[in-house]
Amino acid sequence: MTFLSPYFKWVILFAAVTLNNGQDFQNKLFADHRFTCPPGQVVSEIVGDVQGMFSKDRRWIVTCKDAPGNAKTTNCQWNRNNYVGCVLSTMLYQCPGDKVITGMGSDYKDEPTISERQYMFYCCDVEGHVPHSCEYTTFLNKYQGDLNYKVPKGKVLRGAYSFYLKDGRDRRFKFEFCEMDSYKTTTSG
């Protein structure tokens, strides 16, 4: 019977704990992903985890926070054409009108010439609020690198940009974040 040294047991335990940082991913590698925030919430963080240096895929975690002013989210919809951009190409998306991102999804395509995800976003109006002063982040990940983006306090996500590098067989991501202002509707009477 072989016994592991106490040092080796700690190394195994540390590796098991840090591989996913205790996070529950919403998809498995090479599987589709769909997530929408509950009503009244918007996306607060997006995590994309690459498994191994030469992995062709990411596992995703999308988390949510209350909408500004604890407002309702209404008129929600997945982006119009279902997918954003084309496989193996640049992706540029912004929620229509004054909507903000309240969910994210992707389908994994694994065909002889393609191993890639097609992305989609779920967007909602935030009742009594309008996005403004929007800007894009810098690239948030390196090719074959993890992505971990927390939306700044008081801001919301409105869009996404991603560039695909064929040689790197991966994408780099930027997100568009905005401030939100409330407005009052008036009724004439």
Is residue 169 over pLDDT 90? Answer: no
Is residue 107 over pLDDT 60? Answer: yes
User: How does pLDDT run across 81-99, given as a tens digit for each residue?
Assistant: 667 766 778 899 999 999 9
- CB neighbours of residue 55 within 10 Å: 16
For residue 10, give the 3-state DSSP assignment: helix
CA quadruple 171, 117, 66, 96: dihedral sign: positive
What integer pLDDT is reported at residue 109 of this predicted model?
83
Instruction: Report angle CA 115, 116, 118 to the nearest 5 degrees.
Output: 145
pLDDT-based confidence at residue 66 (cuts at 50, 70, 90): very high
**Rounded to an integer, what distance in angstroms lies between the CA atom of residue 118 and that of residue 67?**
27
Q: What percent of the chain has pLDDT over 70?
A: 80
Torsion of CA 81, 179, 36, 33, to 10 degrees: 60
CA quadruple 178, 133, 77, 121: dihedral sign: negative
pLDDT-based confidence at residue 11 (cuts at 50, 70, 90): very low
User: How does pLDDT run across 29-55, given as a tens digit for each residue?
Assistant: 888 899 999 999 999 999 999 876 556
Give the predicted TM-score (pTM) of the model.
0.81
What integer pLDDT is reported at residue 174 of this predicted model?
97
What integer pLDDT is reported at residue 52 of this predicted model?
65
Radius of gyration of the chain from its Cα atoms, rounded to whole angstroms:
19
**Rounded to an integer, what distance in angstroms lies between the CA atom of residue 100 and that of residue 169?**
29
**Rounded to an integer, what distance in angstroms lies between the CA atom of residue 142 and that of residue 160?**
16
Sheet holding 147-150, edge to edge: 58-66, 41-50, 147-150
Q: How far apart are the first and last CA of the chain?
A: 87
Q: What percent of the chain has pLDDT over 90?
A: 55
**Rounded to an integer, what distance in angstroms lies between the CA atom of residue 74 and that of residue 18?**
38
**Rounded to an integer, what distance in angstroms lies between the CA atom of residue 4 and that of residue 6?**
6
Mean pLDDT of the chain: 84
What CA–CA distances, in Å, run from 63 to 101, 114, 150?
A: 12, 29, 9
pLDDT-based confidence at residue 113 (cuts at 50, 70, 90): confident
